[in-house]
A and B are shown apart, each in its own frame.
Chain A
Amino acid sequence: MSLSRSRTSCVIVGTATALAVLTACGGSGEDSANKPAGPVTITFWGWAKGSKDVVDAFNASHTDIQVKFEEIPSGTAGGYAKISNAVKAGNAPDLVSIEYSSLPEFVSSGALQDIGDQFTEADRAKLLPQSVELTTLGGKSWAVPFDAAPQAFFYRKDLFAKYKVQAPATWDEFRKAAEQVKKADAKARIATFFPDDPTTFEAMAWQAGAQWFKAQNDTWKIDTTDAATTKVATYWQGLLDDGLVHKNASFSPEWTGSLKNGTTIGYLGASWGAGVLKGTLPEQSGKWAVAPMPSWDGKPASGMLGGTSFAVTKDSKQKAAAVTFAEWMSTTEEGVKARIASGTSSAFPAAAALRPVAKKAFDASYYGGQDIYALFEASGASINPNWAWGPTTGTTNTTIKDHFGKITQGGPGIKEAVKAGHDATVAELTKRGLKVEG
């Protein structure tokens, strides 16, 4: 057989594989319903920090339900694709982690089941209303919220002091601080614009009062270019044009490297970022501090960046057990403690009663003993309640991400990217047969 021949068959097989991926037919779920005796086993997919520890703690303290945990890549890094594939193929796990932003998409594609009968009104009342709101769609309850993810600004307090910069309270001050940092050290920047991550930008638009997706009666009103978003886009375009922030992919080796060598001295993230920084840069312990997100008028304001909920897939026969486990993770002291004590999670629980537990379990010496949970608490209360996610987050975010990658000096910018996201969203909703205005 000639080498060239093998290449042609490669091409043909390759094409067939591409087709086969789409048709991926899988076996049926392992857990069968006809097993009355012995513990019920459920499968759980997730990627949040500390998940393994939580599952271990649950299995150790429960005999009736046993959980099999499988770690998957984070949602937008391929986790969501894996989940929707598995659902399509009929071999999905019982319980999956889904961020609030993607929940409507999974609900509308019919991948999940309504858990309202198990996850009752009384359970929901224990949780942050903004989080419950984000998991209640079309009047039904679709997921157990785990954390709220209020925004926060993490900064190197040693370098801020060295450069004589104050933690900014407003976006105007943030820009001034950015200029000061650049002046003090030509290579250092106050923060990073993440071209690969539209959700950080969305959280900032959310904070500014934007409402991209509005459900009115049976019509979606889409507006990703409202005044608040335009304000945020113009502001960030200015920072980029003047070279006041770095432009690196989020959590990339490049970003981490710049944090390590002190050329990036701040991070606009959310509550869970406290654990991420601690895990990524253990050698910088004691050098970091957390400040509330800068706001436009100086009053506390926050969007939500990420935030996980647990949802039961449509074919799961173990809904009751899955919801029991999800609630245990979200609303019991043991569940929250097990996660935070793993050391890498700084999740801010949606359950108000458990925040003291989380605070106690989180070793804040990395932040010089700062009471970061009090800060998250204040920030969490200021989360703008008007934001809702639409059922096309995949399309919206992928489109914006594609255009963020093309941002160049003098070329298309953030505003154009957001506009492209708008148009793609409207087109997608229309294609699905939904009523759209926008």
Chain B
Amino acid sequence: MKARTRAAAILLTPFFVLFTAVMVVPIGYAVWLSLFTEKQSGLGFGGTETVFTGLDNYTAALGDRAFREGFGVLLGYCLLYIPLLLVGALGLALLLDSALARARRFFQLALFLPHAVPGIIAALIWVYLYTPQLSPVVQAMEAGGIGFDFFSPEGALPSVVNIALWEWLGYNMVIFYAALQAIDRSVLEAATVDGAGAWRIAFSIKVPLVKASLAMVGLFTVIGSLQLFTEPLILNKGTGSAVTSTWTPNMYAYTAAFDRNDYGLAAAASVLLALTAALLSFAVTRLTGRKGKRA
């Protein structure tokens, strides 16, 4: 018994050391930072004084319309992005899983490839494809009579959603495809014997059987969306687009720290965002855990 505890302690130590160093300490420091504000006096050229301001940074962040609007943008993003992602990825997975698909391995790889491109590169490529006068896509659209400004206030959200879809569709398709492959073939054979066609099998057998992974992907995507940063940041810098510097909560924290030099506010905004992510994660674990028991 003793030896086992010792082994566990030894094996767990690296995890806890790293966990403390890269999670607990930075979070603790951020919380600490968020309680202070740098105050100045006179015209402000006499240097700064760090003052304990309690929860002032939190009320400042929550009271800032730009910060709250960031969550609004995230909500809009999720409402547009998640249905498209789920339907698209599941549709592709069903196609791959159907008897019709040829060259499965090729398509699997080809569809997954965009995910291997780092987000920042993907965003740069797409910014190029969105830029009027440069982009063959925009030019083709204009030739076809479709005028769409990807950088306009209406175009900003679809532009970002499109980049995210390009990056994540293949990845999630692989998850669904794996789930579909795990379905007991005898069930499918039974359905065929009972006279069900391919459509009927897809919607009445396959989709219900992969519902669990559908829910998982959906919920994890919601939480992942909270981190939305790279793609809109690229759209914000150097395009003159309607994506503002505080478009998402993450960007708000970034701008507060590095454009406004307000580390306290940035820390408070980050902590608020982390709390939101933690609450959602908790909800996700509860939901998926319960589902597991019922099954």
9-residue interface stretch from B77-85, B90-98, B252-260: B252-260
B72 CB-CB contact with A under 8 Å? no
For A434, the chain B residues whose CB sits under 8 A away are: 40-44
Per-residue 0/1 for A411-438: is the Cβ within 8 Å of any B Cβ (1 yes, 0 no)? Answer: 1000000000000000011011110000
Do A254 and B45 have beta carbons less than 8 Å apart?
Answer: no
For B139, the chain A residues whose CB sits under 8 A away are: none
- B40, B133, B213: the one contacting A258 at CB < 8 Å is B133
Which residues of A (1-58) have their CB < 8 Å from a CB of B? 3-4, 7-8, 10-16, 18-23
For A3, the chain B residues whose CB sits under 8 A away are: 171, 174-175
9-residue interface stretch from B103-111, B185-193, B197-205, B261-269: B261-269
For A433, the chain B residues whose CB sits under 8 A away are: 39-41
**CA–CA, A299 to B262, complex, Å?**
42
B13 CB-CB contact with A under 8 Å? no
For A77, the chain B residues whose CB sits under 8 A away are: 237-238
Chain A interface main SS type: helix
Do A137 and B45 have beta carbons less than 8 Å apart?
Answer: yes
B270 CB-CB contact with A under 8 Å? yes
Question: How distant is A401 from chain B, measured CB to nearest CB, in Å?
Answer: 7
A85 CB-CB contact with B under 8 Å? yes
Question: How distant is A383 from chain B, measured CB to nearest CB, in Å?
Answer: 23
For B239, the chain A residues whose CB sits under 8 A away are: 196, 249, 252
**A137-B45, A195-B240 as given contacts; A254 in contact with B132, CB under 8 Å:** yes
Do A138 and B43 have beta carbons less than 8 Å apart?
Answer: yes
For B217, the chain A residues whose CB sits under 8 A away are: 4
Question: How distant is B6 from chain A, measured CB to nearest CB, in Å?
Answer: 26
Which residues of A (142-198) have their CB < 8 Å from a CB of B? 194-196
**CA–CA, A32 to B37, complex, Å?**
31
For A15, the chain B residues whose CB sits under 8 A away are: 227, 270, 273-274, 277
With a 10 A CB-CB cut-off, give which of B22, B26, B257, B273 has the most chain A CB atoms: B26
**CA–CA, A100 to B36, complex, Å?**
29
**CA–CA, A405 to B281, complex, Å?**
34
Do B38 and A432 have beta carbons less than 8 Å apart?
Answer: yes
B210 CB-CB contact with A under 8 Å? no
**A254-B133, A434-B44 as given contacts; A398 in contact with B255, CB under 8 Å:** yes
Q: Name the residue of chain A whose CB is nearest to the CB of B31.
A: A19
B33 CB-CB contact with A under 8 Å? yes
**CA–CA, A405 to B253, complex, Å?**
20
Do A248 and B261 have beta carbons less than 8 Å apart?
Answer: no
- A194, A408, A431: the one contacting B153 at CB < 8 Å is A408
Q: Name the residue of chain A whose CB is nearest to the CB of B41.
A: A433
**CA–CA, A392 to B259, complex, Å?**
9
**A4-B216, A15-B273, A109-B38 as given contacts; A395 in contact with B227, CB under 8 Å:** no
- B30, B45, B261: the one contacting A23 at CB < 8 Å is B30
Do A11 and B277 have beta carbons less than 8 Å apart?
Answer: yes
B162 CB-CB contact with A under 8 Å? no
Do B134 and A257 have beta carbons less than 8 Å apart?
Answer: yes
**CA–CA, A254 to B127, complex, Å?**
11
**A109-B38, A138-B43, A434-B43 as given contacts; A80 in contact with B258, CB under 8 Å:** yes
Which residues of A (245-263) have their CB < 8 Å from a CB of B? 247-249, 251-254, 257-258
A81 CB-CB contact with B under 8 Å? yes
Do B43 and A391 have beta carbons less than 8 Å apart?
Answer: yes
**A22-B266, A23-B30, A398-B255 as given contacts; A105 in contact with B261, CB under 8 Å:** yes
A238 CB-CB contact with B under 8 Å? no
**CA–CA, A110 to B38, complex, Å?**
10
**CA–CA, A392 to B43, complex, Å?**
11
B46 CB-CB contact with A under 8 Å? yes
- A21, A252, A258, A398: the one contacting B259 at CB < 8 Å is A398
**A19-B27, A434-B41 as given contacts; A138 in contact with B244, CB under 8 Å:** no
Question: How distant is A10 from chain B, measured CB to nearest CB, in Å?
Answer: 7
**CA–CA, A408 to B41, complex, Å?**
40
**CA–CA, A253 to B238, complex, Å?**
10
**CA–CA, A215 to B43, complex, Å?**
7
With a 10 A CB-CB cut-off, give which of A15, A411, A433 has the most chain B CB atoms: A15
B196 CB-CB contact with A under 8 Å? no
B209 CB-CB contact with A under 8 Å? no
For B132, the chain A residues whose CB sits under 8 A away are: 254
Do A402 and B245 have beta carbons less than 8 Å apart?
Answer: yes
Question: How distant is A238 from chain B, measured CB to nearest CB, in Å?
Answer: 19
Per-residue 0/1 for A207-227: is the Cβ within 8 Å of any B Cβ (1 yes, 0 no)? Answer: 000000001001110000000
A126 CB-CB contact with B under 8 Å? no
A360 CB-CB contact with B under 8 Å? no
A84 CB-CB contact with B under 8 Å? yes
- B22, B44, B153: the one contacting A411 at CB < 8 Å is B153
Do B261 and A84 have beta carbons less than 8 Å apart?
Answer: yes
Q: Name the residue of chain B whose CB is nearest to the CB of A11.
A: B223
Q: Name the residue of chain A whose CB is nearest to the CB of B22.
A: A16
Question: How distant is A209 from chain B, measured CB to nearest CB, in Å?
Answer: 23
Do B152 and A398 have beta carbons less than 8 Å apart?
Answer: no
B159 CB-CB contact with A under 8 Å? no
- B131, B260, B274: the one contacting A398 at CB < 8 Å is B260
With a 10 A CB-CB cut-off, give which of B243, B258, B266 has the most chain A CB atoms: B258
Task: With A253-B128, A405-B151, A405-B243 given, name 18 new contacts (CB 8 A).
Answer: A8-B284, A14-B227, A15-B273, A16-B27, A18-B274, A21-B254, A23-B30, A77-B238, A84-B258, A194-B240, A218-B43, A219-B43, A252-B240, A257-B133, A391-B44, A398-B255, A405-B240, A432-B38
Which residues from chain A sit less than 8 Å from chain B, CB to CB? 3-4, 7-8, 10-16, 18-23, 77-78, 80-81, 84-85, 88, 104-105, 107-110, 137-138, 140, 194-196, 215, 218-220, 247-249, 251-254, 257-258, 391-392, 394-395, 398, 401-402, 404-406, 408, 411, 428-429, 431-434
**When A and B form their complex, which 10 residue pairs have the shortest distance between CB atoms, in order from nearest?**
A138-B45, A195-B240, A81-B258, A402-B244, A433-B39, A108-B44, A249-B240, A196-B240, A394-B259, A19-B30
Which residues from chain B sit less than 8 Å from chain A, CB to CB? 22-23, 26-27, 29-30, 33, 37-48, 60, 128, 131-134, 151-153, 171, 174-175, 213, 216-217, 220, 223-224, 226-227, 229, 236-246, 250, 253-255, 257-263, 266-267, 270-271, 273-274, 277, 281, 284
Can you report 26 residue pairs joining A to B where beta carbons are below 8 Å apart? Answer: A4-B217, A7-B224, A11-B224, A11-B226, A11-B227, A16-B23, A16-B27, A18-B274, A19-B271, A21-B254, A22-B26, A23-B30, A80-B258, A81-B258, A194-B240, A196-B240, A220-B43, A395-B259, A398-B255, A398-B259, A398-B260, A431-B37, A431-B262, A432-B40, A432-B44, A433-B39
